[in-house]
Every structure is written in C-alpha cells, then in structure tokens.
Amino acid sequence: MSHRYAVLGAGMQGTAAAYDLSCFAHPARVRLGDQSLDQATRSAHRVNMLSGTGHAEPCAVNALDPASLREFIADADVLLSCVPYWMHPAIARTCVAAGVNMVDLGGNTEITLETLDLGDAARSAGISLVPDCGLAPGLVNSLGLALIERLDHAETVRLYCGVLPQHPVPPLNYKLTFNVEGLVTEYDFQAVVLRDGKLGFVDTLSELETVHVGGLGEMEAFTTSGGTSTAPYTFQGKLTNYEYKTLRYPGHCAIIRLFKDFGFWNPETINVKGNSVVPRELFYRVFGDALAQFVDEDLCAVIAIAEGTKDGAPTTLRLEILDRQDPITGFTAMERLTGFSLSIVAQEVAEGRIARGAIRYEQAMTGTRFVEELRRRGVEIREG
C-alpha cells in the first residue's frame, strides 16, 4: 500500500528525508512544505530529479498557524517535522487534532517530554507520535539499542557522535551543518545521564576525554545536551550506565566554552549604549552567519559501545560509522544520517509497526531493524 507523507521544513534535513521517502517508501505522494514556497519548490525539484520520480510536491505552509498546518497535512498518513525543536509540541497538538501521525527531529529533552505528554490524546486519536528521530538523538541511540539486543545482559552504553568538516580550519575546526539554534541548545543546558543506576544531570562542555575514531585518529569528546533523549529514563532499572558525548577535533571545546562562560548565550535582554540586545540572538546572527560562510564537505563519526555479558562471559561490543558527503547526490553526511533516519521511522509508523500513542524513540522500533534499514541505504557500519 502506498502512503502519503508530508515533510514540514524544506531545508537540509527535510530535503534528505523527502528524498529517502521517494526512494524507499514507494509513496503515493511526498508533500514538501516550507514557509518559503521558493525553497519548497527548489527542494521538491531536487528530490524529484535525484530520485527519478515525481513524488515530491512543493507547498507553502506556516508551521505555527494551525489552520495552515492542517491544510498542509490534510489526507497525509505521516508528518515528518524538520523545523526548529521548540515548534514540535505545538505541531504535535495539531496532528492529534487532525488524526495524523507525526515524527520529528527533536533535540531538546524537555521539549520532547512535552510532546510525550500528549500520549493519551494521541492514543485516543489512533495515531503515533515519535519524537527525537534524527541523528543524535535518534540514530546514535538505535546503534546503542542494537548492541543491547545482542547481549544477554547489558550494563553500560556509551555513545559518541560528531559532524565535522573534512578539511578543518583553525581555530574552531568546525562547520555548521544545521540550525545554529540547535547547536547552542546542544552546547548549553545540561546532559541527562544514567550513572550507577541513577538519573543525573551533567553540565555541558565538561568531562573532556580523548576518543580514537577509525579513519580520523584522536578526537575529543565532551558532554552536550539532548543526545541521550529519554533513554536514561527508559533504561533505569535495566542498565547501570547510559551516556552520550559529542565528538570534535581537539581544541574545539575549550574555545567554544568561552562563549558559554562569558554570557554570550544569555537569553535575557541587556542594555548596550541605549539599545536592547539579547546576547543569544546576537550570537545566532554573528556566529551563525560567520560559520555558514565556511564551505567544506562534511563527515559524520558515530560510535556506540556496550558492555555486559554474552554466554556468561564479560563482553564489549562496538559499532562505528564514518560517513562522508555523497558526491553523487550532494547530500552531506549530516543530511544523510539525519534525514534518512527520520524517514526510516516515518515508514515504520506508516506501515503500522509502531504502537499508537506518544512513543519514546528507543521503544519505537528495534535497533537491529534500524541498522538493517540504514545499511540498505549504503551506510557502512563497522563492528568491533
């Protein structure tokens, strides 16, 4: 049976998700919506050209206007939300009212919990809401879940992920591959962890360590928010430890931490020579615009490590991905691993393989099946 999909947000991740749907879902239609009809039209044309189909249809839509959004998702089976994370709960409420399934890219656990609070309403509407279906949170958690499923008893899961330029330029050695608001959200707030069987909160940009990444060498890793999503809550009582860190080229953390320590991410208005300024908004504009000018192909490194027992013996399992920008389609590693991941879960929802209600990501589908689907898309996953 062919299903109808609506992708909200025709930027980088939304375009990649629409492409994956066109190639793997055999859809009846992929409606690609954006506040800018020009952007939606360009993205839909690209999807149709690359996939050799005519599935993608461009639409203008205001994500925060319930009437506009309801018109956009009319007769859709699943909405894929690829807009900034803070919009997702409002969009989810509209989907519940319209009786349309929804998956989103998430990124902030507190916001995700707002969406999950709609569980009873979603179940009554006969739909599924699955947040946090991108890269991290999302894919990285599925790799961890796949390892848990291979062990007789799992005790510890450690996850690492970083999207980076292939040719880093000092001093930051970084390329902005998604919305700058999302980047600051990862670097700010606190990370949710499970340690010694207890839930905890750790400051971001802390607990620096060195991690060896095959094909890249020695990288640094540090705590960031959002990457564990709801998994520590889900696995409490089942695992002893569950943690996530972001990977960067050495030296990045110390530099970026200066912005946090000196208030550049302060959301409160301050007065500067008689002008009202919000430091965080100024940072978005200045820092975001400056990083956006850095042009380079990207790569994405993901590591999942699980410790436990197998056949009565202590066992450590490891999965690694080192994905690079695709020279054929032009999709970046970030777009591939984020957009494709969202599409995989959306297709599971459309096929009725995910329970009704608001479902935590790590309970939506098995890690083993997710890994199989990712490999079907040509993503190399190394085992160690």
**pLDDT value of position 182:** 81
**pLDDT value of position 96:** 98
pLDDT band with cut points at 50, 70 and 90 for residue 127: very high
Tell me the one-letter amino acid at 145: L
Lowest-pLDDT range of 3-12, 151-160, 234-243, 283-292: 283-292
pLDDT band with cut points at 50, 70 and 90 for residue 4: very high
In the chain the domains, ranked by start, together with CATH numbers, are: 4-134+334-383 (3.40.50.720), 139-324 (3.30.360.10)
Over 90: is that where the pLDDT of 107 sits?
no
Over 90: is that where the pLDDT of 51 sits?
yes
**pLDDT value of position 295:** 81
Which residue has better confidence, 254 or 287?
A: 254
- Cβ 324 vs Cβ 2: under 8 Å: no
**pLDDT value of position 384:** 83
For residues 41-46, give the mean pLDDT.
Answer: 98
pLDDT band with cut points at 50, 70 and 90 for residue 293: confident
How far is it, in rounded angstroms, from Cα 51 to Cα 22?
6
The 10s digit of each residue's pLDDT in 181-211 is 888 989 998 999 999 999 999 999 999 999 9
Over 80: is that where the pLDDT of 1 sits?
no
Packed helices 367-376 and 139-150: angle between N→C axes, nearest 10 degrees: 120
For residues 24-53, give the mean pLDDT.
Answer: 97
Q: How far is CA 72 from CA 6, 90, 204, in A?
A: 8, 15, 37
Over 80: is that where the pLDDT of 178 sits?
no
- Cβ 72 vs Cβ 33: under 8 Å: yes
For residues 39-53, give the mean pLDDT.
Answer: 98
pLDDT band with cut points at 50, 70 and 90 for residue 78: very high
For residues 334-347, give the mean pLDDT.
Answer: 97
- Token pair of 169, please? 């330029």
Compute φ and ψ for 212, nearest 5 degrees.
Answer: -85, 130
Block residue for tokens 């995989």: 344
Over 90: is that where the pLDDT of 119 sits?
yes
